[in-house]
């Protein structure tokens, strides 16, 4: 593997023609050393599972500092992108830098209360409506967002995704899925910096990693995920994708587990 050189000056680093603030990048779960590699991995997964086209209209929940938006400017040349996030400085930076160059890329601050990243938020998740029209979006993306949500909030966003998706739309949502074998492997291998053990059961099918910061990482059983998806009127477009985080799967599909979902065809007829 070729070593990559990252030049960090004044609290910023270069990424595809932009000077990205280090502190805001680190809020996304990866700093300068991993930013490019994670962006490349994201683009590969999106192309593989969502078959992105140049005309697609994309919404990303948890867009952060533009790690996906910046490379997507090269793909969505005829389409559009809406990035939403609860971290206001990240949204401001994206608007001032990315939207200035690409007017078809829009960024919106969600002032939703969040234990870790926006504790002073003015709205509970249950009252927020995504800032796009019904049936207007081709693809929905959410990396490491459902991993920090209670079940009720996940259900709210799934209903919102269903509202905004076009009839042939798809969504790619990463998450944590546990079985007893997966948990045993995660505890033995400890492959991430976050010591993901999920020792604490909240209720059957739901576990958290740290009772001091319960929204730091939340996992659900496969049975629970399937019940949530189906009861919110959605279905799997791809089989449940398996993540590398636990070390359990010999050939993982992604870093985290992931749901690739769609609105059932029978509900669209």
Q: Does residue 37 form part of some domain?
A: yes
* Structural domain span for residue 139: 33-268
Q: Is the pLDDT of residue 17 over 50?
A: yes
Q: In angstroms, how far is CA 258 from the centroid of its own chain?
A: 9
Considering the domain boundaries, does residue 3 fall inside one?
A: no
Decide if 180 is inside a domain. Answer: yes
Which pLDDT value is given to residue 112?
Answer: 73
The span from the CA of 105 to the CA of 59, in Å, is: 10
Rounded CA-CA distance 205/221 in Å is: 5
Query: Within 13 Å of residue 40, how many CA atoms lie on the same side as its CB?
Result: 7
Q: What is the pLDDT of residues 25-55, one digit of tens each?
A: 998 888 899 999 999 999 999 999 999 999 9
**pLDDT range class, residue 116, cuts 50, 70, 90:** low
Q: Residue 8 domain-assigned?
A: no
Rounded to an integer, what distance in angstroms lies between the CA atom of residue 194 and that of residue 197? 9
Confirm whether 19 is domain-assigned.
no
Pairing of strands 165-175, 137-142: parallel
Query: What domain count does the chain have?
Result: 1
Residue 14 lies in a domain: no
Nearest to 90 by CA among 182, 26, 153, 186: 26
Q: Say whether pTM exceeds 0.75.
A: yes
Report the CATH number at residue 85: 3.40.50.150
Q: Is residue 205 part of a domain?
A: yes
């Amino acid at each position: 593997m070729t070593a990559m050189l990252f030049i960090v000056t004044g609290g910023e680093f270069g990424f595809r023609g932009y000077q990205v603030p280090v502190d805001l990048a680190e809020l996304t779960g990866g700093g300068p050393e991993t930013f490019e590699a994670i962006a490349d991995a994201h683009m590969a997964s999106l192309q593989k599972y969502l078959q992105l086209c140049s005309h697609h209209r994309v919404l990303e929940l948890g867009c952060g500092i533009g790690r996906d938006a910046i490379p997507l400017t090269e793909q969505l040349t005829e389409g559009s992108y809406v990035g939403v996030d609860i971290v206001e400085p990240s949204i401001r930076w994206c608007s001032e830098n990315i939207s200035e160059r690409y007017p078809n890329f829009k960024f919106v601050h969600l002032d939703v209360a969040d234990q870790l990243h926006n504790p002073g938020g003015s709205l509970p998740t249950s009252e927020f409506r995504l800032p796009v029209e019904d049936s207007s979006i081709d693809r929905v993306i959410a990396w490491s967002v459902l991993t920090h949500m209670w079940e009720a909030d996940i259900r709210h966003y799934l209903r919102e995704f269903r509202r905004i998706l076009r009839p042939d739309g798809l969504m790619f949502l990463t998450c944590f899925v546990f079985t007893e074998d997966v948990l045993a492997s995660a505890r033995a291998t400890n492959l991430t910096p976050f010591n993901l053990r999920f020792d604490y059961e909240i209720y059957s099918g739901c576990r958290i990693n740290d009772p001091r910061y319960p929204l730091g990482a939340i996992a659900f059983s496969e049975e629970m995920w399937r019940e949530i998806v189906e009861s919110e009127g959605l279905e799997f477009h791809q089989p449940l994708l398996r993540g590398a985080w636990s070390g359990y799967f010999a050939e993982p599909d992604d870093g985290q587990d992931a749901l690739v979902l769609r609105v059932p065809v029978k509900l669209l007829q």
